[in-house]
Structure 1
Amino acid sequence: MTDTSKKEQLYELIRANPFVSQQDLAVELRLSRSAVAGHIASLIRERRLLGRAYVLPDKRPVLCIGAANLDRKLRTLETLQMGTSNPAYAEEVHGGVARNIAENLARLGLPAALLTAVGDDPAGSALQSRAESAGIDTRGSLRLNDTYSGTYTAVLDERGEMVLALADMALYDKMTPEFLASRAPQRSSAAMVVADLNLPQDTVATLLQDARRDAVALVIVAVSQPKMARLPQDLHGLRLLVLNRGELETRVGRKLAGDAELAAGCREVQAQGAQDIIITCGGEGVYHTSYTLAGEAGLTWLPAPKVDVVDVTGAGDAFAAGVCWSIYQGNNDLTLACRRGLKVAAMTLESPDTVSPLLAADILEEISEFHPLHLPQD
């Protein structure tokens, strides 16, 4: 067999398993380690591989880093009454911001990977199994002994709107900068990184530092007002921050009543280094940062489509996934990205599932041109 055919065989083995070791390749192809290394070097020179972990150009995933929880949803059957027992319907589903975004992306046809932490309990096994069955690469995730997996318990009213949520997510504090360093092969393969703020502040700072160094798009998704404290002051390297009005108010330390004040708050966060910001407003719609022809920074408003809400759980994560899908395509039109995000969120709101089973690779391709409402800058 010629050297060329051996190299092609090696390439196909790497396509099947980008994390295969050189020793395994040598055994499979009956070659020396030095011969395998030579073929890999040749493929890298040809740009058919991109370096560490044998990254394939057409297989670079969106890497989602953060929470994968067991979500418990309690929905009242009638109007909720505080201070007393309410008849309710209960269910358990797989959730977590990073995990939900990864599953949405996988269903939308993108290669998706997940770095999370799970316990050694049945919930941890189920979370990992569900992710893998959805096509998500979880090989770098942290399995903690003698620890329960993260949980999120939401109380919903009879219309499916959230009344209260409780989160037990202390295990994500184990996802330290040292943990990130130990997962260098998985991280080096990413075309984009999406992180939620369940991570420790030092870990988020490391992701920002790496984004500046490697020029890989980093999207951060806020999870609550208390966890805004985990967002570092220096945001240089941040491609996009997705948060709601309350979380933005927490960041700037004041109420943002009108559109002009909201725009001023966004400019303040952009001055800290964030390139773009999206402010979600639930069922009403979203704002995103934009610029006038004169180069002045302001906001663009997009209303949400009207839907019959079945369950709000996961809608925000679905929106973020739709936005990331659009950015992954190389399109920098944030209005288009938000329209795609709103489409995925609407499908999720109309579904009893945290991730809509109707999502498919071609769902978002039909969404293109649109003329949004540009708000006054002052």
Structure 2
Amino acid sequence: MSKKDQLFELVRGNPYISQQELAAQLQLSRSAVAGYLANLTKDGRILGRAYVLPDRSPFICIGGANIDRKLRSKGPLQMGTSNPVSQYESYGGVARNIAENLARLGAATRLICAVGDDAAGQSLLTQADSVGIDVAASLHVSGALSGSYTALLDDAGELVLAMAHMELCESLTPAFLVSRQQQRANAMMTIADMNLPLDSMQLLLDEANVNCTPLVVVAVSQPKMTRLPEQLTGLRLLILNNAELEQRHGHACATHDEMIAAGRRLQAQGVQDVIITLGEQGILFSDSNRGDAWTFCAAVPVESTAVVDVTGAGDAFVAGVCWSLREQPDDLPLACHRGQQLAAITVKTTATVAQQLHSSLFNEEILCNPI
């Protein structure tokens, strides 16, 4: 193999490798390495700085990464007293969960998050790297504790209460995101969760409006709906549940018609499409490729006895939708169905992200009804 091809293989293995490291491994001068890189760029085999390979444009997932602690009651919960529980810990965070689902489906994925300099932070990044997620652009905050999410589940596996310590996400400022512009520049899709500060969300919207890279925003809780800008021009897709939708608009949405009306107001504010998740009931979503049409899609059936833990199901849904839109960008009904399939798999496992994922698991039987 020629030195040029050897260099290309090193870059393929680590797109962030430095010229000094390349020179040392190949026993070349820095000037020789620079010459080879220039030739590879001219040939179209890499795309300039950061040595981006043209066939591996990744999903860029930006937002929360933390340790999940799940406590599940061994019987009916009783308030105001001690309840026997089982405990399970795993890696979590909305952006991180979405990234792991995508990576396990075989997609090139890059995670931009913030972690502390503690053991939890190192463990989060090591595990992400082990499943194929590129974490080189993430932020390390000295002296800080990494994020945590503690969920209390009832004896049926349904979420009762969750407590999130996500302060490090405040470090994902516009200035930080600009400092990672090179690592974000070749995204085939950007997925951001709303742990990001409001001005960072605005930056991503402004960029998407200019560069036309699809941007998907995922709501994470009712309190953090204040982080969604008023104007949403540039946003390809907003995914939120009905409680978050109500928080945005300040009134109850009890019927499908009321939810659709609120969703259309979001579209009037600039977002192309909206998905409203309704848990085991299914989803409502707009489809701008069919004018102003909205569709209801029933949830993929899961026997109640098969439900182990609902934590992570929503993130799996988002990953399935985004993975499908990469393959067929104009088929949102198919994307929603695939997202529901991934969510149905996830609720049957104790892990926040199902471990045995592959793209061939999807079937194409869609149970959606236009409204």
What's the TM-score bracket when you normalise by the shorter of the two chains?
A: over 0.9
Paired residue secondary structure (1:198): coil
Alignment of 1:283-302 (within 5 A): 283-290=280-287, 295=291, 297-302=292-297
Shift of 1:39: 4.2
Name 1:306's counterpart in structure 2. Answer: 301
Paired residue secondary structure (2:270): coil
Q: Partners of 1:46 and 1:143 in 2: how far apart? A: 35
Q: Render the CA deviation track for 1:69-97: whole Å, top value 9, x for unaligned.
A: 11111111011111221111122211110
Q: Render the CA deviation track for 1:292-313: whole Å, top value 9, x for unaligned.
A: 86x3x13111111121211001
Q: Partners of 2:22 and 2:151 in 1: how far apart? A: 48
Does the Cα contact within 8 Å between 2:63 and 2:195 map onto a contact in 1?
Answer: yes
Does the Cα contact within 8 Å between 2:273 and 2:288 map onto a contact in 1?
Answer: no
Is 2:22 aligned against 1:16? no
Q: Render the CA deviation track for 1:207-252: whole Å, top value 9, x for unaligned.
A: 1112122221111110001101001112111111110011112222
**2:281 is aligned with what amino acid?**
E
Q: Which moved more, 1:9-18 or 1:82-91?
A: 9-18
What RMSD, in angstroms, separates the aligned Cα atoms of the two structures? 2.0
Q: How many aligned residue pairs are there? A: 368
Where in structure 1 are there 5+ consecutive unaligned residues? none
Q: Partners of 2:370 and 2:193 in 1: how far apart? A: 29
**2:325 is aligned with what amino acid?**
I
Shift of 1:10: 3.2
Shift of 1:19: 1.6
Name 1:353's counterpart in structure 2. Answer: 351
What TM-score comes out, normalization by structure 2 length? 0.93
Name 2:369's counterpart in structure 1. Answer: 373
Does the Cα contact within 8 Å between 2:99 and 2:109 map onto a contact in 1?
Answer: yes
Q: Render the CA deviation track for 1:160-213: whole Å, top value 9, x for unaligned.
A: 000111111111101111111222222123221111001111111111112122
Q: Partners of 2:38 and 2:68 in 1: how far apart? A: 46
Shift of 1:322: 0.5
Paired residue secondary structure (1:283): helix
Paired residue secondary structure (2:279): coil
Name 1:79's counterpart in structure 2. Answer: 76
Does the Cα contact within 8 Å between 1:98 and 1:194 map onto a contact in 2?
Answer: yes
Does the Cα contact within 8 Å between 2:58 and 2:188 map onto a contact in 1?
Answer: yes
Q: Partners of 2:213 and 2:277 in 1: how far apart? A: 24
Q: Partners of 1:45 and 1:277 in 2: how far apart? A: 41
Name 1:128's counterpart in structure 2. Answer: 125
Does the Cα contact within 8 Å between 1:68 and 1:150 map onto a contact in 2?
Answer: yes
- Evaluate the alpha carbon distance shift between residue 370 and residue 312 of structure 1 in structure 2; reply closer, same or farther with a 3 A threshold: closer
Shift of 1:145: 1.8
Does the Cα contact within 8 Å between 2:64 and 2:94 map onto a contact in 1?
Answer: yes
Q: Render the CA deviation track for 1:34-54: whole Å, top value 9, x for unaligned.
A: 554454444334433233322
Alignment of 1:150-169 (within 5 A): 150-169=147-166
Q: Render the CA deviation track for 1:6-47: whole Å, top value 9, x for unaligned.
A: 543433332122122334444555656555445444433443
Q: Partners of 2:98 and 2:288 in 1: how far apart? A: 28
Q: Partners of 2:127 and 2:332 in 1: how far apart? A: 31
Q: Partners of 2:347 and 2:367 in 1: how far apart? A: 24
Alignment of 1:309-328 (within 5 A): 309-328=307-326
Paired residue secondary structure (2:287): strand
Name 1:269's counterpart in structure 2. Answer: 266
**1:191 is aligned with what amino acid?**
M
Name 1:220's counterpart in structure 2. Answer: 217
Name 1:203's counterpart in structure 2. Answer: 200
Name 1:144's counterpart in structure 2. Answer: 141
Q: Which moved more, 1:313-322 or 1:115-124?
A: 115-124
Q: Render the CA deviation track for 1:119-148: whole Å, top value 9, x for unaligned.
A: 122211211111111111111111112211
